[in-house]
């Protein structure tokens, strides 16, 4: 019963009304591929590819790619470092040159079970090196991110994934500081033991915009420790 009460509260929290600006009127899409490779008891690597679109599945917005090195301190705590290269469109229905980004981040992830419900949180520091066109200039953004989530197991095949992430961009002489919130709820299917598919909804509030995105994700894990034994 506790699981369903928590689920109901979170879903009510992330549900929003649609706003009136053109970009907010559109239902966008957000495709994700994530893979994790466990090399040793302490070390793993992972990679993520995401493609964002202002509409389904049209009007390109953002391409995100990253490679992550993870050090597993213990079964609950993981420290990570990452590099990513990204392609950012000039804006909703705006012709123009794309912005390209080199992104670095440092992260701590922690897992804990409370009242038989598993929670995961991550704290991330990001350095975003943006090569902006017209006029051409390089801008450095610093961000902090905090995400809290849970995975509610329904049975051996189906689950529900929920998380909320708060993001803060620090103000500098070249860029404004602003906050962002991403609330996500999805229905997941374990297609086999090491992979799952998630279909869900993400609400993104940023710079006064209230954006609605449907998400489709495929997540895969492989443990090389087992193949080496």
Cα separation, 118 vs 152, in Å, equals 8
**28-41 per-position pLDDT tens digit:** 999 999 999 999 99
User: Positive or negative, the Cα torsion across 166, 153, 218, 37?
Assistant: positive
Q: With 60 as the cut, is the pLDDT of residue 5 above it?
A: no
Please, what is the Cα angle at 74 between 72 and 77, to 5 degrees?
70
Burial class (CB in 10 A: 0-12, 13-18, 19+), 138: exposed
pTM given for the model: 0.85
DSSP secondary structure letters along the chain:
-HHHHHHHHHHHHH-----SSHHHHSEEEEEEEEEEEE-SSSEEEEEEEEEEESSSS-SEEEEEEEEEEEEESSSSEEEEEEEEEEEE-SSTT--SPPEEEEEEEEEEEEEEEETTEEEEEEEEEEEEEEEETTTTEEEEEEEEEEEEEEEEE-SSSEEEEEEEEEEEEPP-SSS--EEEEEEEEEEEEEEETTEEEEEEEEEEEETTEEEEEEEEEEEEEEEHHHHH-
Ramachandran angles phi, psi of 194, nearest 5°: -105, 10
* Banded pLDDT at 215 (limits 50, 70, 90): very high
**134-171 per-position pLDDT tens digit:** 666 788 999 999 999 999 999 999 999 999 999 999 98
- What separation in angstroms does the CA of 200 have from each of 77, 97, 154, 163? 27, 31, 16, 11
- What separation in angstroms does the CA of 103 have from each of 47, 73, 86, 98, 184? 14, 24, 8, 16, 23
What range does the domain containing 56 cover? 2-228
Q: With 80 as the cut, is the pLDDT of residue 19 above it?
A: no
Between 97 and 63, name the one with better pLDDT.
Answer: 63
**197-214 per-position pLDDT tens digit:** 999 999 999 988 999 999
As beta bridge partners, residue 155 has none
Q: What is the mean pLDDT of residues 164-185?
A: 92
Report the CATH number that the domain containing residue 65 is assigned in CATH: 2.40.160
pLDDT at 9: 44
* Banded pLDDT at 186 (limits 50, 70, 90): very high
**45-68 per-position pLDDT tens digit:** 999 999 999 998 788 999 999 999
* Banded pLDDT at 73 (limits 50, 70, 90): very high
Q: How many domains does the chain have?
A: 1
* Banded pLDDT at 12 (limits 50, 70, 90): very low
pLDDT at 22: 75
Cα separation, 84 vs 17, in Å, equals 33
């Amino acid at each position: 019963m506790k699981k369903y009460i928590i689920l109901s509260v979170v879903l009510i929290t992330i549900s929003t009304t649609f706003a009136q600006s053109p970009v907010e009127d559109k239902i966008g899409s957000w495709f994700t591929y994530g893979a994790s490779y466990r090399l040793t008891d302490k070390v793993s690597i992972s990679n993520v590819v995401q493609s964002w679109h202002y509409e389904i599945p049209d009007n390109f917005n953002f391409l995100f790619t990253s490679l992550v090195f993870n050090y597993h301190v213990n079964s609950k705590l993981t420290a990570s470092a990452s590099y990513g290269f990204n392609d950012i469109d000039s804006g909703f229905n705006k012709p123009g040159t794309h912005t390209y980004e080199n992104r670095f981040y440092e992260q701590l992830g922690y897992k804990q079970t409370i009242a038989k419900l598993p929670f995961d949180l991550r704290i991330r520091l990001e350095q975003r090196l943006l090569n902006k066109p017209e006029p051409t200039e390089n801008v450095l953004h610093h961000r902090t991110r905090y995400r809290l989530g849970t995975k509610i197991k329904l049975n051996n095949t189906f689950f529900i994934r929920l998380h909320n992430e708060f993001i803060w961009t620090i103000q500098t002489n070249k860029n404004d500081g602003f906050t962002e919130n991403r609330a996500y709820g999805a229905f997941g299917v374990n297609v086999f033991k090491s992979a799952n598919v998630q279909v869900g909804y993400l609400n993104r509030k940023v710079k006064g915009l209230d954006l609605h995105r449907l998400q489709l994700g495929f997540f895969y894990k492989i443990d090389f420790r087992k193949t080496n034994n």
